[in-house]
């Protein structure tokens, strides 16, 4: 698996530009550029930051499946939408879900 291709595919899947991914991860655009040209390798910490930005686990990142593995269509849709949210909106969504469960 080519890790940069995987990142490109995730960006396309989640409609996130490399610029936005840079903002979400705190990884500079120049660092992404170097990674793309394979002048530097990605540490596990970097991959974890990328996974966090997409709202996926490392297992899902390294999965050969195009979608989230072993999930129903509803769960896949929920995770896809989750990945599009910024941290503030994710916290708000969690709060709403927790309140719905308390009903």
Q: Where are the domains of the chain?
A: 3-102
Residues 71-95 have pLDDT tens digits of 777 887 888 888 888 889 999 999 9
Residue 34's alpha-carbon distances to 21, 37, 48, 65, 91, in angstroms, are 15, 5, 18, 27, 33
Tell me if 69 sits within 8 A of 60, measured CB to CB. yes
Alpha helices in 1-103 (DSSP H): 3-13, 18-25, 29-36, 44-54, 58-62, 73-84, 87-102
Above pLDDT 90, what percent of the chain? 19
Q: Which residues, given as ranges, of the chain have pLDDT below 70?
A: 1, 39-40, 64-70, 103
Q: Which pLDDT score is estimated for 40?
A: 64
The CATH-assigned architecture of domain 3-102 is Orthogonal Bundle (1.10)
């Amino acid at each position: 698996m080519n890790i940069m291709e995987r990142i490109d595919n995730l960006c396309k899947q989640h409609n996130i530009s490399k610029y936005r991914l840079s903002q979400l991860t705190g990884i500079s655009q120049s660092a992404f550029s170097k990674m793309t040209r394979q002048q530097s390798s990605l540490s596990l910490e970097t991959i974890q930051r990328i996974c966090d930005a997409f709202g996926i686990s490392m297992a899902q990142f390294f999965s050969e499946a195009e979608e989230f593995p072993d999930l129903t269509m509803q769960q896949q849709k929920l995770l896809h939408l989750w990945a599009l949210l910024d941290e503030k909106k994710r916290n708000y969504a969690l709060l709403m879900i927790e309140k719905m469960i308390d009903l």
